Structure 1
Amino acid sequence: MSAAEKYFDPMDGVAEAQLASVLRLSVMRLSRRMRQERSNTLTPTQIATLATLKRHGSMTLGELAAHERVQPPSMTRVVAHLAEAGLVARGAHPSDGRQVIARITEAGIDLLEADRRRRDEWLAERLASLSPDEMAALERAAPILDTLAGS
């Protein structure tokens, strides 16, 4: 019997609340475990900043702060650390000398790819231990979880 089956009885009136509770705990545990597989050298904010620069290209520090939902002074410190590590390059804004543009370096891209590879390998090892039925259930659930995350 799965964890969800122990707590989730679709015949009672609180099925959605029970499922929400079990799903919340499971997703939080998996998320925490995936974070533990991340690079030990950078904070989650630093990794997220690198990923944003890789995905969206060069940005001003203000744009980056808004995108990551942090205060500009915090982003200035994050980018300074990443630049010191050679993962981000800073440059002058082409039309506003008061602003700084940040872009990810090849070393930053390499770090992100190694990080992603490490987490994918960890998860693939766990998936290999599942039954075909469990794998099929996860294949069906993945797009649903993605929809929940985006709403």
Structure 2
Amino acid sequence: MSTPPNPRRPQGRSPGRAPGLAEDLRISIARLSRRLRTLRAPGPGGAVAGPLSLTQFAALAAIERNGSMTPRELADHEKVQPPSMTRVIAFLEEHGLVARSPHPTDGRQVVLSATEAGRTLLGEERRKKEAWLSQRLGELTPEEREILRRAAPILDKISRA
């Protein structure tokens, strides 16, 4: 399946050149990201409370992935200032998604861990997004799926730079 020409790309620019490819990837990834964001799981308290913000979701996911983190480690990991992270943590704790416990070696600190409710919420959101993506992937040809399979590690490499 060939890709239709991008009408916004100036004539004469080769799609294989980095600037054209960069533009195409930026647009496609942004569109896919926006679409996945619309598939948010209900937040604490169900649909009334709404989904977690992207910052709250990312913080909860980081805590779950790392097992436990201090608030400072979490702020550093998410590249936000500690006062901003304090508000995020307060919200997550207030809604029973994270729990604080004493730091094992430093009595001045606490460690945060995801609660069962937090892990359940993350799992619901991931399942919902993966189901939507699986359905879209099923609509592609086997060749297109193979191209994406081979591109996935490259996209991951770019995202970690």
Partner amino acid, structure 2, of 1:85: H
Aligned residue for 1:125?
Answer: 135
Q: Alpha carbon RMSD of aligned pairs, Å?
A: 2.5
Secondary structure in structure 1 of the residue aligned to 2:111: strand
Alpha-carbon distance in 2 for matches of 1:66, 1:129 = 40
Alpha-carbon distance in 1 for matches of 2:34, 2:118 = 23
Displacement of 1:92 after TM fit? 3.1
Displacement of 1:60 after TM fit? 1.5
Aligned residue for 1:26?
Answer: 28
1:16 aligns with 2:25: no
Partner amino acid, structure 2, of 1:17: P
Aligned residue for 1:54?
Answer: 64
Displacement of 1:37 after TM fit? 1.3
Alpha-carbon distance in 1 for matches of 2:13, 2:111 = 56
Alpha-carbon distance in 2 for matches of 1:13, 1:73 = 44
User: How high is the TM-score relative to the length of structure 1?
Assistant: 0.86
Secondary structure in structure 2 of the residue aligned to 1:59: coil
Gapped regions of structure 1 (runs ≥ 5): none
- Please tell me whether the aligned partners of residues 8 and 18 of structure 1 are also in contact (alpha carbons under 8 angstroms): no
Alpha-carbon distance in 2 for matches of 1:28, 1:83 = 31
Alpha-carbon distance in 1 for matches of 2:3, 2:81 = 43
User: How high is the TM-score relative to the length of structure 2?
Assistant: 0.81
1:116 aligns with 2:126: yes
Alpha-carbon distance in 1 for matches of 2:54, 2:13 = 41
Q: How many residues align?
A: 151
Cα gap change, 1:55 to 1:9, in 2 (>3 Å): farther
Partner amino acid, structure 1, of 2:124: A
- Please tell me whether the aligned partners of residues 87 and 108 of structure 1 are also in contact (alpha carbons under 8 angstroms): yes
Alpha-carbon distance in 1 for matches of 2:25, 2:15 = 17
Alpha-carbon distance in 2 for matches of 1:148, 1:26 = 15
Displacement of 1:132 after TM fit? 1.9
Secondary structure in structure 1 of the residue aligned to 2:52: coil
Cα gap change, 1:12 to 1:92, in 2 (>3 Å): closer
Percent identity (aligned): 50
Aligned residue for 2:79?
Answer: 69
Gapped regions of structure 2 (runs ≥ 5): 42-49
Aligned residue for 1:148?
Answer: 158
Aligned residue for 1:102?
Answer: 112
